[in-house]
Amino acid sequence: MGKIRVVIADDSRLARALLRDFLEAEDDIEVVGEASNGRQAVDLARQLKPDLITMDLEMPLLSGLQAIEEIMHSKAVPILVVSSVADAHNALAAVACGALDVLRKPDYSPSEAADFVAKVRMLAGVSV
């Protein structure tokens, strides 16, 4: 099996870099694109056909929820929401739009990084 191809969508350059560092430390995962807004996330989903998208909820142009809906209505891709606003209300809204799971943005701790990478591996193989 080839590498798991991931697109990271987050308006924070720092958050994208942190998630990219976690993923690219793994031999079986490749970050194929990064989006800084919801519109770019939708475009990259169509162009790159990733195995999984990590999606922030609070982004410009299209919110994470709007981007999830648009992606799921065109070319469905497994989506893992990774957001600082991952409370129960936002988690329910994200899953209702088509996301598979919701995580709080990980910090620099090895355990949170490992949990994030494990979730990416698990969800990348889900049919949507």
pTM: 0.94
Q: Measured between alpha carbons, how far is 59 from 15 in angstroms, rounded to an integer?
A: 12
pLDDT tens for each residue of 34-86: 999 999 999 999 999 999 999 999 999 999 999 999 999 998 899 999 998 87
Q: What is the CATH number of domain 4-124?
A: 3.40.50.2300
pLDDT tens for each residue of 104-120: 988 888 999 999 999 99
Q: Measured between alpha carbons, how far is 85 from 63 in angstroms, rounded to an integer?
A: 13
Residue 40: is it exposed, middle or buried by C-beta count within 10 angstroms (0-12/13-18/19+)? buried
Q: Of 74, 56, 52, whose CA–CA distance to 64 is shortest?
A: 56
Proportion of the chain above pLDDT 90, given as a percent: 80
Specify whether the backbone of 19 is left (phi greater than 0), alpha (psi in -120 to 50) or beta. Answer: alpha
